[in-house]
Amino acid sequence: MPTRWLARLAVAAAGLLNLSAAPAGPDLGVILAATPAPKLSDYRLFHAGAADPALTPYALNTPLFSDYAEKLRYVWLPPKTKASYRADGVFDFPVGATLVKTFAFPADFRRPDQDVRWIETRLLIRKADGWTAFAYVWDAERKDAVLKRAGARVDVSFVDLKGQTRRVDYAVPNQNQCKECHQLDKTLTPIGPKARNLNGDFAYATGARNQLAHWTKAGLLAGAPAPSAAPRTARWDDAREPLEARARAYLDANCAHCHQPRAIASNSGLFLNSEEPPGPNLGIGKSPVAAGRGSGGLLVSIDPGHPERSILVHRMASSEPGVMMPELGRSLVHDEGVELIRQYVASLKP
Amino acid sequence: MTRLALMATVALCVAGAAQAKTLAVAPGADAQERLQTALLDAKPGDVVEIAAGRYELTDGLSLDVDDVTVKGAGPDRTVLSFKGQKGAGEGLLITSDKVTVRDLAVEDTRGDGLKSKGSDEISFINVRVEWTGGPKETNGAYGVYPVSSSNVLIDKVVVRGASDAGIYVGQSKNIVVKRSRAEFNVAGIEIENSYNADVFDNDATRNTGGILVFDLPNLPQMGGHSHRIYNNRIVRNDTPNFAPKGNIVASVPVGTGVMVMANKNVHVFGNEIDGNQSTGVMLVSYTQKFDDKTYNPLPRDVVVRDNRIGKNGYDPKFAGAEILAKAVGGTIPPVMWDGVTAHPQNPDVVRVNLKDGPVLNLRLKGPGQLMTADPTVTPTSGDAVIAEPEKVVLPKRQADLAD
């Protein structure tokens, strides 16, 4: 039977080709499998502790604070697919889209490129019926990372910019906790890759370029306008930008994944998303509802002009479970973030 | 596909749907991870069975699968201790529908004890939530805490030591709280911004306030209404208020039996109300400043009848109580109403039917305007005929859980 013989030859040739192609690139079959792979290496997103070249790195103008962890973000889309641009909210990603985020700590933040320890890599995968989220915890040699569905605690220590040693009781979230933050109307969703948070420059290997422009040019994104016509979130740590824009960007990134009308803390009536107009629901003059001891004996979320009388600042400045906000994702206080919100509350007119 | 293969596939599917399994968890090393993994692995219809023993947990647990029962060996035998908790806002968070938590205890969480958010058909049965160091401001806020949920069943639970409310139902609909015991909390049982609650056959004792029915502004669900508070024992609520300032319950005077704040159509009847030093039943407006055009701060359509009222109001602890008590003969009458009948944001006729008495009516001109008080004491107050809300009916499957 000549046809069968030919087919066999084709398969063998394909196998040879496959072997010679190095590295092999992400495995869409594993990415879209019904159950998560037990090891991160199964996805072929990383090879020998480095990201596959098919992954595109990206950064957010204002990210969530996670105990000072450095976050290495990548997007991967199946060949010949694109995300569709949206001015508001997260882009519409194609099935198979994978968002990859590695949490890492340099031993000494004064030398951020040396002795970098990878703690975990989180995957957000767009399946046919929606997004799923998984966390993989790296071994000490950065050879591979294993699936941790129920969460984990990792001891981390680093030297901060001031030369002080900091210890972190780092929490890898359990699978439900991923969703607690990553949800809108009870459906799991990414948070970061929105036009306004990507509308900034990234230092690619080939040079710095606006990310929206780069994604469009690289064939990852369809329908985006010129960056100047797209919305843009302020950088929280760029002192040249207006205080209010920086503070609202920080609150949006650090609080609004829960504190907005369509997410898990909706019942608090405290909405810190950037669309919320100033008023009681932004916390101004608002009494707590279910804060319990989180109130710290203070009467309102935001007392304009008075950060020392504002529950919002009090809870950001705490590292005690049951008091601190956000309640997931950090164990340290973000001193610089607290200072920004202090200045913002102090600037509000009573 | 051959016919045989097709049949096999069909058989598998049928078996898969019908086969509820039990995921057993025992005490020991890695209990945190094993218990959380079981809560992740559970499929609709499954039971996560937690064997007798003590579980020292370091992080909050969560369940997001519909139609799962989490079951212990009894509230004194299966104990989930969160004394060493390092993160999360509660002990166990439920975000799915048709979930039952039963026969276990949750101790010493740093935040809330058992919470459900946005769940339909959520049941807490025969559970205990306790802060074992007694009443302390540093205890978590709520013991059993369904919020933004519908079809809520709380049966035979015990809560002790909550720094806000032991049993707290917020922004929910269709609620039954029964045969439960709330003691040594700031509020024993609190129904807030909710619709249709039946609260009966409970013991609310040794709290700051026994049973509270509140409505607050600036929340996604407001306009609380249609509650029946009946056949409860609301006795000797005498724990000094230990709520952190800023929280609404921090304003509850020690020795309050029942407090109705804002809300419409609340019926309080057949309860035993005794030994509450400030007052037996209190009807008040929301007195804090607010900026919310949709909020009605007045209690209206309130009925208080046929309660067995003992000795209350003998040592009142609210602002101005001493002067007031003197003016009305030494003790605060068992039923007290601020008497506010008009507010720019109240379109209703404020009606009450306070059959139990005597009734102290402060006749305030507006919420919290104590300086306008013109107190009067009458044997009863108001005779409006106010229809009782219909009995709360839960889905049959859920109602059957309460044996």
Is B55 inside any structural domain? no
Q: What is the pLDDT of residues B52-68, one digit of tens each?
A: 999 999 999 999 999 99
**Banded model confidence at residue B15, pLDDT cuts 50, 70, 90:** very low
Cβ contacts of B245 on chain A, cutoff 8 Å: 295, 297-299
Which position has the token pair 């699978």? A175
Determine the pLDDT at residue B329.
86
Determine the pLDDT at residue B17.
47
Cβ contacts of B110 on chain A, cutoff 8 Å: 320-322
Cβ contacts of B112 on chain A, cutoff 8 Å: 290, 292
Question: Which residue of chain B has the CA closest to A309?
Answer: B246
Find out whether B86 and A169 touch, Cβ atoms under 8 Å. yes
- Residues 220-279 of chain A with CB under 8 A from chain B are 261, 264, 266-267, 269, 279
| Residue B95: CA count within 13 A, CB half-sphere | 23
Q: What is the pLDDT of residues B219-241, one digit of tens each?
A: 999 999 999 999 999 999 999 99
Determine the pLDDT at residue B281.
98
Is B21 inside any structural domain? no
Determine the pLDDT at residue A17.
44
Check CB contact of B9 with chain A, cutoff 8 Å.
no
How many contacts, defined by CB atoms under 8 Å, are there between A and B?
145
How many Å separate Cα B23 from the centre of its chain?
A: 30
Q: What is the pLDDT of residues B186-202, one digit of tens each?
A: 999 999 999 999 999 99
Determine the pLDDT at residue B88.
76
Residue B274 has pLDDT above 60, yes or no: yes
Range of the domain at B152: 112-402
- Residues 302-361 of chain B with CB under 8 A from chain A are none
Segment among A63-77, A281-295, A303-317, A331-345 with least mean pLDDT? A281-295
Q: What is the pLDDT of residues A146-197, one digit of tens each?
A: 999 999 999 999 999 999 999 999 999 999 999 999 999 999 999 999 999 9
Burial label, B77 (beta-carbon count in 10 A; 0-12, 13-18, 19+): middle
Average pLDDT of chain A?
A: 92
Q: How far apart are the CA of B79 and the nearest CA of chain A, in angstroms?
A: 20
Looking at per-residue pLDDT, the higher value among B22 and B329 belongs to: B22
Q: How far apart are the CA of B111 and the nearest CA of chain A, in angstroms?
A: 4
Is B255 inside any structural domain? yes
Segment among A267-271, A327-331, B97-101, B299-303 with least mean pLDDT? A327-331
Put simply, the answer to whether A292 touches B170 (Cβ < 8 Å) is: no
Which of B64, B89, B93 lies closest to A322 in CB terms? B89
Residue A15 has pLDDT above 50, yes or no: no
Q: What is the pLDDT of residues A244-275, one digit of tens each?
A: 999 999 999 999 999 999 999 999 999 999 99
Mean local confidence (pLDDT), B145-165: 98
Q: What is the pLDDT of residues B68-126, one digit of tens each?
A: 999 999 999 999 999 999 887 899 999 999 999 999 999 999 999 999 999 999 999 99
Q: Please state, in angstroms and rounded to a whole number, the distance separating the CA atoms of residues A243 and B362.
A: 49
For B373, other C-beta atoms within 10 Å of its C-beta total 18
Residue B7 has pLDDT above 80, yes or no: no
Mean local confidence (pLDDT), B28-42: 96
Q: What is the pTM of this model?
A: 0.91
Q: How far apart are the CA of A149 and the nearest CA of chain B, in angstroms?
A: 7
Determine the pLDDT at residue B18.
52
Put simply, the answer to whether A293 touches B63 (Cβ < 8 Å) is: no
**Banded model confidence at residue A23, pLDDT cuts 50, 70, 90:** low
Which of A171, A281, A285 lies closest to B87 in CB terms? A171
Average pLDDT of chain B?
A: 94
Indicate which of A170, A181, A282, A293 best probes the interface with B, i.e. most B CBs within 10 Å of its own CB. A293
Residue A110 has pLDDT above 70, yes or no: yes
Is B257 inside any structural domain? yes
Which of B59, B117, B288 lies closest to A287 in CB terms? B288
DSSP string, A133-202: EEEEEEPTTSS-EEE-TT-EEEEEEEE-TTS-EEEEEEEEPPHHHHHHHSEETTEE--SS-BHHHH-SEE
Segment among A8-17, A80-89, B317-326 with least mean pLDDT? A8-17
Put simply, the answer to whether B93 touches A296 (Cβ < 8 Å) is: no
Mean local confidence (pLDDT), B308-329: 91
- Residues 11-30 of chain A with CB under 8 A from chain B are none
Residue A28 has pLDDT above 80, yes or no: yes
Looking at per-residue pLDDT, the higher value among A304 and B5 belongs to: A304
Which position has the token pair 């359509």? B301
Determine the pLDDT at residue A292.
86
Is B59 inside any structural domain? no
Closest by alpha carbon to B95, among B70, B60, B123, B66?
A: B66
**Banded model confidence at residue A65, pLDDT cuts 50, 70, 90:** very high
Give me the number of domains chain B comprises: 1
CA angle B90, A192, A332 (to 5 degrees): 45
Tokens of B229: 């508070």
Which of B58, B216, B292 lies closest to A153 in CB terms? B58
Check CB contact of B139 with chain A, cutoff 8 Å.
yes
The pLDDT > 70 percentage for chain B reads 95
Q: How far apart are the CA of A133 and the nearest CA of chain B, in angstroms?
A: 13
Cβ contacts of A151 on chain B, cutoff 8 Å: 32-33, 36, 59
Which of A149, A266, A286 lies closest to B218 in CB terms? A286
Determine the pLDDT at residue B14.
43
Burial label, A51 (beta-carbon count in 10 A; 0-12, 13-18, 19+): middle
Check CB contact of B93 with chain A, cutoff 8 Å.
yes
Which of A174, A288, A331 lies closest to B62 in CB terms? A174
Q: How far apart are the CA of A137 and the nearest CA of chain B, in angstroms?
A: 14
Q: Please state, in angstroms and rounded to a whole number, the distance separating the CA atoms of residues A90 and A270.
A: 22
